[in-house]
Amino acid sequence: MDTKLSRRAAVAAAASAAIASGAASKPAALGGAPVRTSPFPTWPVWETTDETEWMRVLRSGKWYRGSGKAVDAFEQKFAEAMGSPHCLAVANGTSALMVALHGLDVQPGDEVLVPPYTFIATINAVLSKSALPVFVDTDARTFQMDTSKLESRVTDRTVAAIPVDMAGAPPDLDTAVAAGRQLGIKILEDAAQAHLGEWRGRKLGTITGAGTFSFQASKNLNSGEGGAILSSDGAFIERCYAFHTNSSPRRGSTPAPAQGGNFRLTEFQATLLVSQMTRLEAQAKRRDANATYLARRFTEIGGVTPAALTDGCTRSAWHLFMFRYSAADFAGLPRDKFLKAMAAEGIPCSSGYTPLNKQAFLKNVLAGRGYQRLFSGKRLQQWHEQNHCPVNDKLCTEAAWFTQNLLLGTRNDMDQIVAAVEKIKNHAKELAR
């Protein structure tokens, strides 16, 4: 062995010895040394190519899709990478949902089935159409919408459902697609977190006929802000196209004239997305390897149960690493104290979403003049009476997350996460005091 290699091996051995003894030492929250002091990989990442492309657009003076070619080029590249016949780029993930709901002809007074465990934008997009979001409970094992319950929440006004690929992994999309067919409702897949994730070998966002993405700064593919709609239905995409650029159809296409807005992506964002896409697959592979390893180690520890992947998920995009924390397995240590103890060890860990269906913004919107006109008093009262998602309520008290940038770290970084959890578990009684 050459000296350089053996020195490296010695450093690695010392590091793993430190990790092993770290699990036995005092938690940082009780004054011990933290498991790690160095930061996790930062997000976003960029290289010289991104700068060159950005400057090329700047110097061309062609900054919007009407004058340049970058948005067209990105749409083509993204469609190709996702195996989708059509792609429309838009300003962000929220407007992708809004534009797609227009394309699906969701109108004021309609009802749309949604999960309570998602980012608020999924719900806001429905409200922006003056439609009523109706919540379908979560599957606690997967953290995903329980699509077997879609039918139970349907009324004669239900026109669509929005299953979300939470954390980059799908709910049961076979069941969602079958329910859509059987109930005669459209299924819009919110794949905002799911770039390169797969359902039965096909890319998420292409499974239900219409899918949307976000390229907001935190997302696995990002341009600060940005979004896209994928579909195999060309006529749907043409309706979306006209809507996204103030009722102006694409040359040669003839959707029925309709309302619109401005939801266009800029040339700058598009060119950045094209260069970011060159790294997407490698980043996705790294996240997948780290998350798969972390899931195995967490399962061995016990009391930190990773979100299961739905049968049929052939690849997760791992936008988040989600798990259920069981205080009972940690000597009763409450979740917020566990999260604080993790932070003290140098590992940022979030409690995730709170129950969306119970938030004040919804009550206020539904109490407003518009909804009072669009829906009968009887229907709104029934909505309130039925607006219960007990599985989700419980999940929200137990959930914890790591964000995707942690998963871009090394195997040693993952071992440190494991060591921190083990250390906290070993000292849970003292921490709970």
Ligand X SMILES: *Cc1c(COP(=O)(O)O)cnc(C)c1O
Which spans of this chain sit near ligand X (rule: CB under 6 A)? 92-94, 118-119, 121-122, 164, 190, 192-193, 214, 216, 227
Q: How far is the CB of 202 from ligand X (least distance, A)?
A: 19
Q: How far is the CB of 164 from ligand X (least distance, A)?
A: 5
CA-CA distance, 18 to 247, in Å (whole number)? 62
Question: Taking CB positions, which residue lies at the least distance from ligand X?
Answer: 93
Which positions ≥6 away from 405 have C-beta within 8 Å? Answer: 40, 41, 42, 43
161 vs 418 by CB, closer to ligand X: 161
φ and ψ of 91, to 5 deg: -65, -35
35 vs 192 by CB, closer to ligand X: 192
114 vs 428 by CB, closer to ligand X: 114
Residue type, 199: W
Which positions ≥6 away from 275 have C-beta within 8 Å? Answer: 46, 47, 49, 50, 53
Q: How far is the CB of 261 from ligand X (least distance, A)?
A: 14
284 vs 419 by CB, closer to ligand X: 284
94 vs 158 by CB, closer to ligand X: 94
Q: Which residues of 108-125 are buried (b: 16+ CB within 10 A; e: fewer)?
A: ebbbbbbbbbbbebbbeb
CA-CA distance, 262 to 243, in Å (whole number)? 8
Q: How far is the CB of 211 from ligand X (least distance, A)?
A: 11
Q: How far is the CB of 357 from ligand X (least distance, A)?
A: 15
Q: How far is the CB of 299 from ligand X (least distance, A)?
A: 26
Neighbours of 42 (CB within 10 A): 8
Neighbours of 321 (CB within 10 A): 26
Q: How far is the CB of 51 from ligand X (least distance, A)?
A: 23
Neighbours of 279 (CB within 10 A): 16
60 vs 218 by CB, closer to ligand X: 218
Contact by Cβ (8 Å): 274, 259: no
94 vs 130 by CB, closer to ligand X: 94
φ and ψ of 374, to 5 deg: -80, -30
